Amino acid sequence: MVYAFILSQETLFSVIIMCQVLSVSRSCYYAYRKKDLRLENPEIRQIELQVVNAFTLHKRRYGVRRLMPELLDQGLKIGHCKLRRILQENKLKAIQPRSFVPRTTDSRHPYPISPNLLRKTPFPVKVNQVWVGDITYIPLQAGGWCYLAVWMDLFSRKVTG
């Protein structure tokens, strides 16, 4: 690679001249050299290993916000920008779960719509003539869903089941 060649010849020739001759920007060369020196530092490698281990420990579900307190508990003080950079350099990206919204009604189907039988009948005059029901999904705090189905007497407006 061109940058490795410039690095090897840095003591013999001027970096400015070599970058001009090889058509390479100096800023890119210095960024390469800085990255190369950073990777040789065992302290930085240890930090990267801790970050990668914490990331894989949580099955690629934790991003920067959730990894920060986790690494702090392990005794590693690291800023969120540095943590984000380490994750990006190691090509680690947290899996984003799809949000689930339960759908009880499918309005886009080829089947005929059932008629409303209650619309044509008179209002009930005594208990247990007409019952109506409904179902709803309740999100649980621990994750997942709970289903609630209710039967109600239309005359007394009391829940019967």
pLDDT, tens digit, for every residue of 74-83? 999 999 999 9
Evaluate whether residue 160 is within a structural domain.
no
3-state helix, strand, coil in the chain (%, to 5): 45, 10, 45
Based on the fold, state whether residues 81 and 21 are members of the same structural domain: yes
Query: What local confidence, expressed as pLDDT, does residue 39 receive?
Result: 65
| Whole-angstrom distance, CA of residue 7 vs CA of residue 64 | 34
Based on the fold, state whether residues 17 and 70 are members of the same structural domain: yes
Number of domains comprising the chain: 2
pLDDT, tens digit, for every residue of 26-64? 999 888 888 766 667 788 888 999 999 999 999 999 999
Evaluate whether residue 83 is within a structural domain.
yes
| Whole-angstrom distance, CA of residue 158 vs CA of residue 150 | 10
Based on the fold, state whether residues 85 and 6 are members of the same structural domain: yes
Evaluate whether residue 48 is within a structural domain.
yes
Based on the fold, state whether residues 19 and 65 are members of the same structural domain: yes
Based on the fold, state whether residues 85 and 14 are members of the same structural domain: yes
pLDDT, tens digit, for every residue of 108-160? 889 998 888 888 888 889 999 889 998 888 888 888 889 899 999 999 999 98
Evaluate whether residue 109 is within a structural domain.
no
Structural domain harbouring 74: 2-89
- DSSP secondary structure string, 86-133? HHHHTT-----PPP----------SSPPPP-HHHHSPPP-STTS-EEE
Query: What local confidence, expressed as pLDDT, does residue 118 receive?
Result: 85
